[in-house]
Amino acid sequence: MTQKRVLITGAAGFLGSHLCDRFIKEGYHVIGMDNLITGDLHNIEHLFKLEHFEFYHHDVSKFVHVPGKLDYILHFASPASPIDYLKIPIQTLKVGSLGIHNLLGLAKQKSARLLIASTSEVYGDPQVHPQTEDYWGNVNPVGPRGVYDEAKRFQEAMTMAYHTYHGLETRIVRIFNTYGPRMRLNDGRVLPAFIGQALRGEDLTAFGDGSQTRSFCYVDDLVEGIYRLLLSDCADPVNIGNPDEITIKDFAEEIIKLTGTDQKIIFKPLPTDDPKQRQPDITKARAILGWEPKVSRAEGLKITYEYFKSLSKEKLYEDPLGREFTKK
Ligand code: UDP
């Protein structure tokens, strides 16, 4: 049997790099692609020595060429934190629109199956709880999150159009908050923010009154769900996430306990359009994929904290997008 070949965009990012690892482990030839704006080559450094891994430094919003056959394409290139897409809104829109168009064209030319990383952000600030796949969402197109939310909604529409019009094999995963090793420490997302603050000896900044909720999924669980979805025959969107919901204030308290920091929680203004609650309904993933998360938040947070602790001191104060922290 000839070896299957998969293209993973956003390969140097948090999720992309874990997907590269998984597909290598499954015996695939993996072609990683990333423009390295928010990705970090350290995440995939260990793969460069492998015969069945190659890397293209390329921006998928420009024409994408990959020689040879392709069986699968996974589109995971995109800024993915609210602070990132405030800083680079146009690139965020381009990778979700021009980028997906290029990749759909490539998938059609190669007769490859394409899976896109969509997001719980398509539900916006949801009025249905927990969120099921048939909920259409409550998104403000012109708010600060609009560039991400609408890019992802467009991406779903475009992918579905290629599926119905061209008969392309497509898959859509709606990813809820996910965490684990290789998250960027200073990208502004709540988990690295809290752990970074604890490691730097700063207070933990809860936004608003901290009563908004999120449901955090450990990265290995997410990757398993994505792998199963790719190999399934379901072209409709599927939620993948952990339904274990927690308020941001309680989450901050868990991080204080985990890290043993003697800092306290301080409250900062709630960002515009910050969703008040979020929890995936995973009935569909359970039924179609036989999937559900296995890693508890306690276990996952422990592994993630160990990872952040192992980073160099400089990393605690740096960010590729130029966010600098003042050393105490
Ligand atoms: N948040 C917070 N403190 C921070 C960073 C984020 O309280 O330092 C809150 C944020 O307002 C949101 C939640 O944590 O309600 C999750 O934020 P994140 O940026 O991780 O992802 P989101 O789910 O909003 O896309």
* pLDDT tens digit sequence for 34-77: 999 999 999 999 999 999 999 999 999 999 999 999 999 999 99
Residue of 148, 162, 218, 305 with catalytic role: 148
Is residue 324 assigned to a domain? no
Give the residue-averaged pLDDT of 110-130.
97
| Structure confidence at residue 325 (pLDDT) | 64
Shared domain for 49 and 60, answered yes or no, is yes
Any ligand 1 atom below 6 A from CB of 122? no
Is residue 158 assigned to a domain? yes
Ligand 1 pocket test target in 119, 189, 195 with most atoms within 8 Å of CB: 189
Q: How many CB atoms lie within 10 A of CB 290?
A: 9
Give the residue-averaged pLDDT of 203-222.
98
Shared domain for 232 and 250, answered yes or no, is no
- pLDDT tens across 82-115, in order? 889 889 999 999 999 999 999 999 999 999 999 9
* Rounded Cα distance, 31 and 141, in Å: 34
The residues, ordered by sequence, that sit 6+ positions from 151 with a Cβ below 8 Å of its Cβ are 78, 92, 93, 95, 96, 97
* CA-closest candidate to residue 296, choices 288, 307, 304: 304
- Decide if pLDDT at 177 tops 60: yes
| pLDDT tier, 7 (very low <50, low <70, confident <90, very high otherwise) | very high
Shared domain for 203 and 87, answered yes or no, is no
Residue of the CA atom closest to atom 17 of ligand 1:
190
Active site residue 148: yes
Shared domain for 226 and 312, answered yes or no, is no
Shared domain for 202 and 308, answered yes or no, is yes
User: Ligand 1 centre and the CA of 116: distance in Å?
Assistant: 23
| pLDDT tier, 235 (very low <50, low <70, confident <90, very high otherwise) | very high
Is residue 283 assigned to a domain? no
- Give me the CATH number covering residue 188: 3.90.25.10
Average pLDDT of the chain is 96
Any ligand 1 atom below 6 A from CB of 285? no
Shared domain for 170 and 23, answered yes or no, is yes
Contact 325, 186 (CB under 8 A): yes
Any ligand 1 atom below 6 A from CB of 212? yes
The conformation of residue 273, written as its DSSP 8-state character, comes to: T
Shared domain for 145 and 10, answered yes or no, is yes
3-state secondary structure of 209: coil
Shared domain for 118 and 86, answered yes or no, is yes
Ligand 1 pocket test target in 84, 123, 197, 248 with most atoms within 8 Å of CB: 248
Shared domain for 86 and 223, answered yes or no, is yes
Strands (E) in the chain, as ranges, are 5-9, 29-34, 53-57, 72-75, 113-119, 170-175, 178-179, 204-207, 213-215, 217-218, 238-240, 245-247, 265-268
- Decide if pLDDT at 218 tops 80: yes
Q: How many CB atoms lie within 10 A of CB 31?
A: 23
Domain enclosing residue 223, as ranges = 5-178+217-240
Shared domain for 30 and 77, answered yes or no, is yes
- Give me the CATH number covering residue 10: 3.40.50.720
* Rounded Cα distance, 52 and 59, in Å: 22
Shared domain for 126 and 254, answered yes or no, is no
- pLDDT tens across 12-35, in order? 999 999 999 999 999 999 999 999
Shared domain for 223 and 303, answered yes or no, is no
| Structure confidence at residue 127 (pLDDT) | 96
What is this structure's pTM? 0.96
| Structure confidence at residue 324 (pLDDT) | 64
Any ligand 1 atom below 6 A from CB of 81? yes
The tally of domains found in the chain comes to 2
Contact 175, 118 (CB under 8 A): yes
